[in-house]
Amino acid sequence: MRVFVTGGTGLLGNTVLRQLEAAGHETVALVRDVPDLRLFDGLSTHFLRGDLSDVDAIQRGVAESDAVIHSAGLIHLGWTRLRESMQVNRDGTAAIAQACRRYDRKLVHVGTVDTLAIGSRAHPANEATPITAENRQVPCSYVQSKRAGVGEVLAQVEQGLRATIVHPGFMLGPWDWKPSSGRMLIEVGRSWRPLAPPGGCSLCDSRDVAAGTIAAIERGGDQGRQFILAGENVTYFQLWTEIAKRMKSRAPLMPTGPAGLWIAGKLGDAFSLVSGKESGDLNSAIVEMSRMFHWYDSSRAKTELDYTTRHLGETLDDATMWIQSHHMSRQRIPA
């Protein structure tokens, strides 16, 4: 099979390319610039130059492939950059979906659990959990635009598009070139963070998510069925403690209390105001999100896609080792 992949320089997309090729498939990646070839070391991916607004390139990539995995996206957890986020996550997805419909190619769209109801300690959410006033996500630019992207795919399924939507949890793993979520490892590893965020996430391995995403091509159905590809539900305090252990840095002392959170959010927003640019790491949207338990249940994917999740310890060992050698040593590889 020849698979057209967007987001091939990203954590998930790069892992998807590697697993597809290891399984004997041919891959084509949409790339915005001439990529750093170290990112594609060991791969024989064909490159197609263009971005998500380049309808001609997208149509060519789709027409010349058997299936499409759309994992390109803009992750900005904040209140600003909504227009840009919509252009990439909503309009880019619409363009991919349109091309897939036109050439009748199966699309696997990468959403995020952040487009679904939010889970909780007592009740991890699944694909069918209704969104209510109590379990709504924080409506930051990322959440709004990714949800709009899923909406575009579902609307086109109504018009004949064959598609499956997968929703990764918080992914860590090797091949995090930029880095994406590996930034958390660097932050916790570089300096002591005495207070961890009070909420939690569903930590998954990008290699498991990539396998689930690829499985969705054949097994996810054609009618826009949605699958959570999450992992072990952990508090950030547990996670940061485990990361610190592996990074040989000091572990956090405790989760942040409400006053600390309020101050952190205000400080982040004040910094944004003064600098004229919202920090992607500290602002009131992130602080609000970090209070919640983004806990999810991947049972549907386990049953229907044979999605498997490895032990959290293995993910953290491999991810920290990769980040240390690629982003924290002298031979650092630039994104």
Ligand X SMILES: Cc1cn([C@H]2C[C@H](O)[C@@H](COP(=O)(O)OP(=O)(O)O[C@H]3O[C@H](C)C(=O)[C@H](O)[C@H]3O)O2)c(=O)[nH]c1=O
In the complex, least distance from residue 110 CB atom to ligand X, rounded to whole angstroms: 5
Give the interface segment with ligand X, choosing from 8-16, 212-220, 228-236, 247-255 (CB under 6 A).
8-16
In the complex, least distance from residue 100 CB atom to ligand X, rounded to whole angstroms: 16
Residue 61 tokens, joined = 């990539």
Per-residue 3-state assignment (H helix, E strand, C coil) for 190-251? HCCCCEECCCEEEEEEHHHHHHHHHHHHHHCCCEEEEEEECCEEEEHHHHHHHHHHHHCCCC
Strands 170-172 and 200-205 turn out to be: parallel
Binding residue for ligand X, selected from 4, 10, 125, 256, defined by CB under 6 A: 10
Number of residues that bind ligand X (CB under 6 A): 25
Burial 240-278 (b: 16+ CB within 10 A, else e): bbbbbebbebebbeebbeeebbeebbeebbeebeeeeeb
Using CB under 6 A as the binding rule, whether residue 82 contacts ligand X is answered as no
In the complex, least distance from residue 195 CB atom to ligand X, rounded to whole angstroms: 25
In the complex, least distance from residue 260 CB atom to ligand X, rounded to whole angstroms: 28
**With respect to ligand X, which residue has the nearer C-beta, 13 or 189?**
13
Binding residue for ligand X, selected from 5, 12, 157, 196, defined by CB under 6 A: 12
**104-133 footprint of ligand X as x/- string (CB under 6 A):** ------x-x---------------------
Question: How far is residue 300's CA from residue 105's CA, in Å, rounded to a whole number?
Answer: 24
**With respect to ligand X, which residue has the nearer C-beta, 9 or 120?**
9
Q: What letter represents residue 26's amino acid?
A: E
Within residues 128-157, the interface with ligand X by CB under 6 A covers 146
φ, ψ for residue 55 (rounded to 5)? Answer: -60, -40
Binding residue for ligand X, selected from 39, 75, 94, 319, defined by CB under 6 A: 75
Residue 101: count of CB within 10 angstroms of its CB:
18
Q: Count the helices and strands in the chain (H runs, E runs).
A: 12, 12
Spatial neighbors of 102 by CB under 8 A, at least 6 apart, are 59, 62
**With respect to ligand X, which residue has the nearer C-beta, 27 or 256?**
27
In the complex, least distance from residue 85 CB atom to ligand X, rounded to whole angstroms: 9
**175-214 footprint of ligand X as x/- string (CB under 6 A):** ---x-xx---------------------------------
Give the interface segment with ligand X, choosing from 71-79, 123-131, 230-238, 247-255 (CB under 6 A).
71-79
Residue 174 tokens, joined = 């090797």
């405790």: which residue's tokens?
254
Binding residue for ligand X, selected from 88, 230, 244, 319, defined by CB under 6 A: 88
**With respect to ligand X, which residue has the nearer C-beta, 52 or 215?**
52
Closest among 41, 74, 5, 70 to 174, alpha carbons compared: 41
Closest among 72, 99, 105, 93 to 5, alpha carbons compared: 72
Give the interface segment with ligand X, choosing from 4-12, 240-248, 263-271, 279-287 (CB under 6 A).
4-12
**With respect to ligand X, which residue has the nearer C-beta, 182 or 224?**
182
Spatial neighbors of 298 by CB under 8 A, at least 6 apart, are 169, 202, 227, 228, 229, 230, 231, 307, 309
């000091």: which residue's tokens?
250
Using CB under 6 A as the binding rule, whether residue 7 contacts ligand X is answered as yes
Using CB under 6 A as the binding rule, whether residue 286 contacts ligand X is answered as no
Task: Estimate the share of the chain in helix, then strand, then coil, as percent rounded to the nearest 5.
Answer: 45, 15, 40
Contacting positions for ligand X (CB under 6 A): 6-13, 32, 51-52, 71-75, 88, 110, 112, 146, 168, 171, 178, 180-181
